[in-house]
Copies of this chain bind each other. A is one copy, B any other.
Amino acid sequence: MADHTTRTAYTVESLLAVTVDVFNERGYDGTSMEDLSRAAGISKSSIYHHVRGKEELLRLAVGRALDGLFGILGEPAATEGPAVQRLEHVVRRTTEVLLAELPYVTLLLRVRGNTATEQWALERRREFDHRVSELVRAAVADGALRSDVDPRLATRLLFGMINSIVEWYRPGIRTADGVADTVVRLAFDGLRAV
Protein backbone atom coordinates (compact mmCIF):
# COMPACT_ATOMS: atom_id res chain seq x y z
CA MET A 1 0.00 0.00 0.00
CA ALA A 2 2.75 2.45 1.02
CA ASP A 3 4.76 1.31 -1.97
CA HIS A 4 1.80 2.03 -4.23
CA THR A 5 1.52 5.55 -2.80
CA THR A 6 5.18 6.42 -3.38
CA ARG A 7 5.00 4.87 -6.83
CA THR A 8 2.15 7.07 -7.93
CA ALA A 9 3.71 10.12 -6.23
CA TYR A 10 6.97 9.61 -8.15
CA THR A 11 7.04 10.24 -11.87
CA VAL A 12 10.04 9.60 -14.08
CA GLU A 13 10.48 13.36 -14.20
CA SER A 14 10.64 13.86 -10.43
CA LEU A 15 12.94 10.82 -10.13
CA LEU A 16 15.16 12.40 -12.78
CA ALA A 17 15.33 15.70 -10.90
CA VAL A 18 16.70 13.89 -7.83
CA THR A 19 18.99 11.67 -9.92
CA VAL A 20 20.67 14.51 -11.80
CA ASP A 21 21.57 16.25 -8.52
CA VAL A 22 23.08 13.05 -7.11
CA PHE A 23 25.01 12.37 -10.33
CA ASN A 24 26.37 15.94 -10.31
CA GLU A 25 27.38 15.69 -6.67
CA ARG A 26 28.89 12.19 -6.56
CA GLY A 27 29.69 11.64 -10.23
CA TYR A 28 27.93 9.03 -12.37
CA ASP A 29 30.51 6.31 -11.62
CA GLY A 30 30.41 7.07 -7.89
CA THR A 31 26.60 6.78 -7.67
CA SER A 32 24.91 3.47 -6.80
CA MET A 33 21.22 2.58 -7.14
CA GLU A 34 21.33 2.50 -3.34
CA ASP A 35 22.38 6.18 -3.31
CA LEU A 36 19.54 7.06 -5.68
CA SER A 37 17.02 5.10 -3.62
CA ARG A 38 18.13 6.94 -0.48
CA ALA A 39 18.08 10.39 -2.13
CA ALA A 40 14.66 9.82 -3.70
CA GLY A 41 13.25 8.26 -0.55
CA ILE A 42 11.81 5.31 -2.47
CA SER A 43 12.86 1.67 -2.70
CA LYS A 44 15.14 0.38 -5.42
CA SER A 45 12.30 -1.77 -6.74
CA SER A 46 10.19 1.38 -7.12
CA ILE A 47 12.98 2.92 -9.21
CA TYR A 48 13.16 -0.24 -11.33
CA HIS A 49 9.43 0.15 -11.87
CA HIS A 50 10.24 3.32 -13.84
CA VAL A 51 13.60 2.58 -15.48
CA ARG A 52 15.86 -0.37 -16.25
CA GLY A 53 18.74 1.04 -14.19
CA LYS A 54 21.32 3.74 -13.61
CA GLU A 55 22.40 4.01 -17.23
CA GLU A 56 18.83 4.61 -18.42
CA LEU A 57 18.54 7.43 -15.88
CA LEU A 58 21.74 8.94 -17.27
CA ARG A 59 20.40 8.61 -20.82
CA LEU A 60 17.15 10.35 -19.87
CA ALA A 61 18.97 13.13 -18.00
CA VAL A 62 21.57 13.98 -20.65
CA GLY A 63 18.89 13.41 -23.31
CA ARG A 64 16.89 16.22 -21.75
CA ALA A 65 19.89 18.58 -22.06
CA LEU A 66 20.61 17.44 -25.63
CA ASP A 67 16.95 17.82 -26.67
CA GLY A 68 17.04 21.39 -25.37
CA LEU A 69 20.25 22.19 -27.26
CA PHE A 70 19.33 20.51 -30.56
CA GLY A 71 15.87 22.07 -30.34
CA ILE A 72 17.58 25.46 -30.76
CA LEU A 73 18.99 24.46 -34.14
CA GLY A 74 15.44 23.83 -35.40
CA GLU A 75 14.07 27.22 -34.33
CA PRO A 76 13.11 29.55 -37.21
CA ALA A 77 15.70 32.18 -36.17
CA ALA A 78 18.39 29.48 -36.36
CA THR A 79 17.41 28.26 -39.81
CA GLU A 80 16.48 31.43 -41.72
CA GLY A 81 18.42 34.59 -42.53
CA PRO A 82 22.13 35.49 -42.66
CA ALA A 83 24.50 33.06 -40.93
CA VAL A 84 25.73 35.72 -38.49
CA GLN A 85 22.18 36.37 -37.24
CA ARG A 86 21.49 32.64 -36.96
CA LEU A 87 24.74 32.25 -34.99
CA GLU A 88 23.83 35.10 -32.66
CA HIS A 89 20.46 33.45 -32.02
CA VAL A 90 22.12 30.09 -31.32
CA VAL A 91 24.66 31.64 -28.91
CA ARG A 92 21.93 33.47 -26.99
CA ARG A 93 19.59 30.47 -26.87
CA THR A 94 22.38 28.05 -25.90
CA THR A 95 23.09 30.26 -22.89
CA GLU A 96 19.36 30.41 -22.07
CA VAL A 97 18.90 26.62 -22.35
CA LEU A 98 22.00 26.05 -20.22
CA LEU A 99 20.52 28.29 -17.52
CA ALA A 100 16.97 26.86 -17.80
CA GLU A 101 18.22 23.25 -17.65
CA LEU A 102 21.25 23.95 -15.44
CA PRO A 103 21.61 20.56 -13.65
CA TYR A 104 20.97 18.57 -16.84
CA VAL A 105 23.48 20.56 -18.93
CA THR A 106 25.99 20.41 -16.05
CA LEU A 107 25.71 16.61 -16.11
CA LEU A 108 26.07 16.54 -19.90
CA LEU A 109 29.26 18.62 -19.70
CA ARG A 110 30.76 16.28 -17.08
CA VAL A 111 30.14 13.06 -19.04
CA ARG A 112 33.50 11.42 -19.68
CA GLY A 113 33.19 7.66 -19.40
CA ASN A 114 33.03 4.52 -21.44
CA THR A 115 29.47 3.26 -21.23
CA ALA A 116 27.47 3.28 -24.47
CA THR A 117 25.32 6.11 -23.09
CA GLU A 118 28.33 8.27 -22.22
CA GLN A 119 29.84 7.65 -25.66
CA TRP A 120 26.54 8.57 -27.28
CA ALA A 121 26.33 11.79 -25.23
CA LEU A 122 29.91 12.77 -26.17
CA GLU A 123 29.12 12.07 -29.84
CA ARG A 124 25.97 14.22 -29.72
CA ARG A 125 27.90 17.06 -28.02
CA ARG A 126 30.53 16.95 -30.75
CA GLU A 127 27.75 17.02 -33.34
CA PHE A 128 26.23 20.13 -31.75
CA ASP A 129 29.65 21.85 -31.61
CA HIS A 130 30.19 20.90 -35.24
CA ARG A 131 26.83 22.39 -36.30
CA VAL A 132 27.71 25.67 -34.56
CA SER A 133 31.21 25.73 -36.00
CA GLU A 134 29.64 25.36 -39.48
CA LEU A 135 27.58 28.48 -38.74
CA VAL A 136 30.76 30.34 -37.70
CA ARG A 137 32.43 29.22 -40.92
CA ALA A 138 29.43 30.39 -43.02
CA ALA A 139 29.38 33.79 -41.27
CA VAL A 140 33.13 34.21 -41.90
CA ALA A 141 32.56 33.32 -45.59
CA ASP A 142 29.81 35.98 -45.72
CA GLY A 143 32.32 38.53 -44.44
CA ALA A 144 30.19 39.14 -41.35
CA LEU A 145 32.75 37.66 -38.94
CA ARG A 146 36.46 38.48 -38.89
CA SER A 147 38.54 36.19 -41.05
CA ASP A 148 41.63 36.29 -38.82
CA VAL A 149 40.24 33.76 -36.35
CA ASP A 150 40.01 30.04 -37.02
CA PRO A 151 36.30 29.02 -36.91
CA ARG A 152 37.01 25.78 -35.02
CA LEU A 153 39.14 27.56 -32.40
CA ALA A 154 36.61 30.40 -32.09
CA THR A 155 33.82 27.86 -31.56
CA ARG A 156 35.80 26.08 -28.83
CA LEU A 157 36.46 29.37 -27.01
CA LEU A 158 32.83 30.42 -27.43
CA PHE A 159 31.56 27.19 -25.87
CA GLY A 160 34.29 27.42 -23.24
CA MET A 161 32.86 30.77 -22.20
CA ILE A 162 29.22 29.59 -22.27
CA ASN A 163 29.82 26.21 -20.62
CA SER A 164 31.85 27.78 -17.79
CA ILE A 165 28.61 29.35 -16.56
CA VAL A 166 27.65 26.01 -14.93
CA GLU A 167 30.63 26.45 -12.58
CA TRP A 168 29.37 29.58 -10.89
CA TYR A 169 25.76 30.41 -11.83
CA ARG A 170 23.26 30.22 -8.99
CA PRO A 171 19.62 31.04 -9.81
CA GLY A 172 18.44 34.30 -8.33
CA ILE A 173 21.73 36.17 -8.15
CA ARG A 174 21.72 37.23 -11.79
CA THR A 175 18.91 37.05 -14.32
CA ALA A 176 19.31 34.59 -17.17
CA ASP A 177 18.64 37.49 -19.60
CA GLY A 178 21.50 39.54 -18.18
CA VAL A 179 23.93 36.66 -18.57
CA ALA A 180 22.79 35.84 -22.12
CA ASP A 181 23.04 39.52 -23.17
CA THR A 182 26.60 39.74 -21.83
CA VAL A 183 27.65 36.51 -23.55
CA VAL A 184 26.33 37.78 -26.90
CA ARG A 185 28.00 41.19 -26.48
CA LEU A 186 31.34 39.71 -25.47
CA ALA A 187 31.28 37.07 -28.23
CA PHE A 188 30.31 39.35 -31.10
CA ASP A 189 31.57 42.79 -30.15
CA GLY A 190 34.11 42.19 -27.42
CA LEU A 191 34.75 44.23 -24.30
CA ARG A 192 36.31 47.26 -25.98
CA ALA A 193 34.27 50.46 -26.11
CA VAL A 194 33.64 51.66 -29.66
Partner-B contacts on A (CB < 8 A) = 84, 136, 139, 143-150, 153-154, 156-165, 167-168, 174, 178-179, 182-183, 185-194
Shortest A97–chain B CB gap in Å is 17
Q: Which residues of B contact A182 (CB under 8 A)?
A: 149-150, 153-154, 157
Q: Which of B157, B179, B190 contacts A189 (CB 8 A)?
A: B190
Q: Which residues of B contact A149 (CB under 8 A)?
A: 182, 185-186, 191
Shortest A135–chain B CB gap in Å is 11
> What is the total number of copies of this protein in its complex?
2
Contact A190 B190 (CB under 8 A): yes
Q: Which of B150, B160, B179 contacts A163 (CB 8 A)?
A: B160
Q: Which of B144, B163, B178, B191 contacts A187 (CB 8 A)?
A: B191
**Chain B CB within 10 Å — which of A149, A159, A174 has the most?**
A149
Contact B157 A192 (CB under 8 A): no
The majority secondary structure among interface residues of chain A is helix
A sample of 7 more A-B contacts (CB under 8 A), given A136-B191, A144-B192, A160-B164, is A84-B192, A144-B193, A145-B192, A160-B160, A160-B162, A185-B190, A189-B189
Q: Which residues of B contact A193 (CB under 8 A)?
A: 143-147
Task: State in angstroms the CA–CA spacing of A179 and B189 once bound together.
Answer: 19
Contact A146 B191 (CB under 8 A): yes
A-B contact pairs, 25 of them (CB 8 A): A136-B191, A144-B192, A145-B191, A145-B192, A146-B192, A146-B193, A149-B185, A150-B178, A153-B178, A153-B179, A154-B182, A154-B191, A156-B164, A156-B168, A158-B161, A160-B161, A160-B162, A160-B165, A160-B167, A161-B164, A163-B164, A187-B190, A187-B191, A189-B192, A190-B190
Q: Which residues of B contact A156 (CB under 8 A)?
A: 164, 168
